[in-house]
Amino acid sequence: MPYRLLRFGLSRKHPEARMFTHHDSMRTSYDVVIIGAGGHGLAAAYYLARDHGIRNVAVLEKGYLGGGNTGRNTTIIRSNYLTSEGVKFYDESLRLWQDLAVDFDLNLFYSKRGHYTLAHTDSAMRTMRWRAEVNKHYGVRSEAVDAAFVKQGIPTIDMSCGGHAPILGALFHEPGAIARHDAVAWGYGRGADRRGVEIHQQTEVTGIRVQGGRVVGVDTSRGSIATPKVLCAVAGFTPRILDMVDLHTPIYVHPLQAMVSEPVKPWLDPIIVSGSLHVYVSQTARGELVMGASLDPYELHSTRPTLDFVEGLTSHMLDMFPFLSEVKVNRQWAGLADMTPDFAPIMGVTPVEGFFLDAGWGTWGFKATPVCGKTMSHTVATGRNHPLIEGFTFKRFADYRLTGEKGAASVGH
Amino acid sequence: MKVMVCPLNGPRPVSEFAYGGEIRTSPNPDTCSDAEWSAYVFNRSGSPGAKYEWWCHIASGFWFAVLRDTTRDVVVATYPAEAVRCGLTPLPAGGASA
Ligand SMILES: Cc1cc2nc3c(=O)[nH]c(=O)nc-3n(C[C@H](O)[C@H](O)[C@H](O)COP(=O)(O)OP(=O)(O)OC[C@H]3O[C@@H](n4cnc5c(N)ncnc54)[C@H](O)[C@@H]3O)c2cc1C
């Protein structure tokens, strides 16, 4: 190591400011405590400080910032959902994404690619037409397209998919994009930090104190703090936090895996999803293919990936792109997906006063990071659900009013 | 978990089995309240722990009960379906993370 670099490393006077302030200790009380420094928790902290002037906020993270599903996802951003609640909500998120990099003064590598959801059967084609019509009704750019259009957009694809799943057409969603997930967490984190929010990593919430039906504080691995408001944004850990306040939800947890190839020359511009083949794939700016499939088949709270997953996914990748047979898989990993029966999230106020929930984000919540921050900060600040999350309330199950989003969210993310 | 011991077919690769969800008892639909019924229909015990579950050996169509630790993916025991009717040993409250 060159001497100057060593001296620089040991010096306390780094010219570069650190991304975040390090706090040696926590205060005894905060106006709001946010559990989970993933994209969702940090975005809520950012908008609480920026738009609502609430700055006495702590974000508590048991591991490291962005180390949960935010840092494990395949970063597909789209708004071509099926229900009116979903389309309006995700479309608002897509709008917020557009000037986020400027807001943060940080490159998010937001890259608009176009998004194909392939249809291999007549019934899939019907769903694509249905989605296209709902999307267009709300001003979202989506089209049901035929096989010739697909071939033109993705010239290298084997249209017969190995002979057993011929492509009949697709739902083409022009605004579909990918972005750099870590940068999203860092951007929101730095923005919140600069406005006075405290981020405490390596700090696990172990209990929530409730008196007379309202939140009064939280217990952590580094001591107790008083607070009247807690926002829970912990994805796959949600049921464990809900046990602390004795709330019951339909959320169940299955692992979701993904993998990435060695970098290759850029050849795949759009994002491609096939529900029948259980594949979705995009190519990053670095040339790696980022690939994922459907949920693991049973409940598990462990992030150990499996060989079954790689075998299944690579065989379906080769159905579409046989010439990739020489390309190596570099890494694979898993995250814990907090699933709901209607494939819609659970957001907003709960029966415990001062306890707010942003959960049930399963396999599809990265794209919603900005709009979740916006709507949850409003909900926490005012104590009332933001109008955009009315279809996603905690009490919709007791009311038998589900928001059926499965047709658009199951493999597509 | 790579191999599961089926009470009918003995040890088989786990890819031969399908998961059928946690074993739960239904409240009486004629007498329970709407809230009790919706809680039964929708809510799940989402936290990790040892749980009784339904599994099916697909090739033989055989359903049976499994006690599995959902933190480490370890099967503690398997039982024929009759054991469910006769009553499984209740787990400690909160589910023991074995
Ligand atoms: C493999 C995979 C692929 C995906 N692909 C996509 C995609 O293409 N597009 C898309 O839109 N979505 C996708 N998703 C979903 C998306 O990643 C998530 O919905 C989203 O990132 C959730 O963000 P979050 O901030 O709510 O949770 P997370 O990023 O998981 O953050 C929660 C944080 O809470 C912390 N925590 C938990 N318990 C405690 C505690 N007791 N005390 C303190 N901290 C705690 C955790 O350590 C974690 O850092 C994918 C998910 C996975 C796993």
Average pLDDT score over residue span A175-180: 97
Q: Which of B22, B39, B73 sits opposite A248 (nearest CB)?
A: B39
- Residue where a domain stops, chosen among A291, A312, A339: A339
Q: Residue B36 domain-assigned? A: no
Count of domains observed in chain B: 1
Q: Residue A278 domain-assigned? A: yes
- Is the Cβ atom of A254 under 6 angstroms away from ligand 1? no
Please check whether residues A150 and A259 belong to one and the same domain: yes
Please check whether residues A59 and A194 belong to one and the same domain: yes
Average pLDDT score over residue span A209-233: 98
Q: Residue B97 domain-assigned? A: no
Atom 50 (ligand 1) nearest CA: A73
Extended beta strands in A177-242, E state: 177-178, 198-200, 205-211, 214-220, 223-226, 230-232
Residue count (chain A): 413
Contacts with A266 (C-beta within 8 Å, 6 or more apart), sequence order: A283, A287
Average pLDDT score over residue span A142-158: 98
Question: Does residue A339 register a pLDDT over 50?
Answer: yes
Share in percent of chain B as helix, strand, coil (round to 5): 15, 40, 45
Q: Residue B38 domain-assigned? A: no
Q: Residue A88 domain-assigned? A: no
Residue among A76, A363, A405 whose CB has most ligand 1 atoms within 8 A, to mutate = A363
Q: Residue B49 domain-assigned? A: yes
Please check whether residues A257 and A322 belong to one and the same domain: yes
Q: Residue B62 domain-assigned? A: yes
Average pLDDT score over residue span A235-243: 98
Q: What CATH number is given to the structural domain containing A375?
A: 3.50.50.60
- Is the Cβ atom of A336 under 6 angstroms away from ligand 1? no
Which residue of chain B comes nearest to A338, CA vs CA? B46
Please check whether residues A36 and A150 belong to one and the same domain: no
Average pLDDT score over residue span A25-41: 98
Extended beta strands in A135-213, E state: 142-146, 169-173, 177-178, 198-200, 205-211
**Residue range of the domain that includes A141:** 111-177+252-339
**Residue range of the domain that includes B74:** 1-22+45-91
pLDDT digits (tens, 9 = 90+) for A378-410: 999 999 999 999 999 999 999 999 998 887 776
Please check whether residues A146 and A277 belong to one and the same domain: yes
Q: Residue A65 domain-assigned? A: yes
Please check whether residues A265 and A328 belong to one and the same domain: yes
Would you tell me how many other CB atoms lie within 10 Å of the CB of residue A275? 20
- Residue where a domain stops, chosen among A339, A355, A377: A339
Question: Does residue B98 register a pLDDT over 80?
Answer: no
pLDDT digits (tens, 9 = 90+) for A271-324: 999 989 999 999 999 999 999 999 999 999 999 999 999 999 999 999 999 999
Q: Which helix (H) or strand (E) holds B41?
A: helix B34-42
Q: How far is B82 from chain A (nearest CA, A)?
A: 23
pLDDT digits (tens, 9 = 90+) for A41-92: 999 999 999 999 999 999 999 999 999 999 999 999 999 999 999 999 999 9
Please check whether residues A150 and A282 belong to one and the same domain: yes
Q: Residue B52 domain-assigned? A: yes
Q: Residue A61 domain-assigned? A: yes
Q: What rounded mean pLDDT belongs to chain B?
A: 91
Q: What is the pLDDT of residue A413?
A: 59
Please check whether residues A167 and A30 belong to one and the same domain: no
Would you tell me how many other CB atoms lie within 10 Å of the CB of residue A168? 17
Bigger pLDDT: A405 vs A155: A155
Would you tell me how many other CB atoms lie within 10 Å of the CB of residue A90? 23
Cα end-to-end distance, chain A, whole Å: 44
CB A239 within 8 A of CB A248: no
Q: Residue A159 domain-assigned? A: yes
Q: What CATH number is given to the structural domain containing A281?
A: 3.30.9.10
Please check whether residues A241 and A348 belong to one and the same domain: yes
Which residue of chain A comes nearest to B71, CA vs CA? A301
Q: Residue B35 domain-assigned? A: no
Range with lowest mean pLDDT among A15-24, A62-71, A81-90, A175-184 = A15-24
Cα end-to-end distance, chain B, whole Å: 15
Is B94 an 8 Å CB contact of chain A?
yes
pLDDT digits (tens, 9 = 90+) for B66-97: 999 999 999 999 999 998 888 888 886 544 44
Q: What is the pLDDT of residue A358?
A: 98
Q: Residue A234 domain-assigned? A: yes
Please check whether residues A256 and A324 belong to one and the same domain: yes
Q: Residue B81 domain-assigned? A: yes
CB A48 within 8 A of CB A246: no
Residues paired with A219 in a beta bridge? A207, A224
- Residue where a domain stops, chosen among A321, A339, A357: A339
Please check whether residues A168 and A256 belong to one and the same domain: yes
CB A201 within 8 A of CB A21: no
Q: What CATH number is given to the structural domain containing B57?
A: 3.30.2270.10
Task: Indicate the DSSP class of residue A281.
Answer: E
Q: Residue A83 domain-assigned? A: no
Contacts with A170 (C-beta within 8 Å, 6 or more apart), sequence order: A116, A117, A118, A119, A128, A144, A145, A149, A150
Name the percent of chain A lying above pLDDT 90. Answer: 92
CB A215 within 8 A of CB A353: yes
CB A295 within 8 A of CB A254: yes
The CA R_g of chain B, rounded to the nearest whole Å, is 15
**Backbone φ, ψ for residue A337 (5° rounding):** -95, 125
Is B70 an 8 Å CB contact of chain A?
yes
Q: How far apart are CA A17 and CA A385, in angstroms?
A: 37
Q: What is the pLDDT of residue A404?
A: 86
Question: Does residue B32 register a pLDDT over 90?
Answer: yes
Chain centroid offset of residue A162 CA? 32
Q: How far apart are CA B45 and CA B48, in angstroms?
A: 8
CB B51 within 8 A of CB B67: yes
Q: How far apart are CA A78 and CA A76, in angstroms?
A: 7
Is B2 an 8 Å CB contact of chain A?
no
Residues 341-400 of A with CB under 8 A from B: 341, 397-400
Please check whether residues A259 and A126 belong to one and the same domain: yes
Q: What is the pLDDT of residue A89?
A: 97
Range with lowest mean pLDDT among A18-22, A37-41, A356-360 = A18-22
Count of domains observed in chain A: 2
Contacts with A13 (C-beta within 8 Å, 6 or more apart), sequence order: none
Q: What is the pLDDT of residue A369?
A: 98
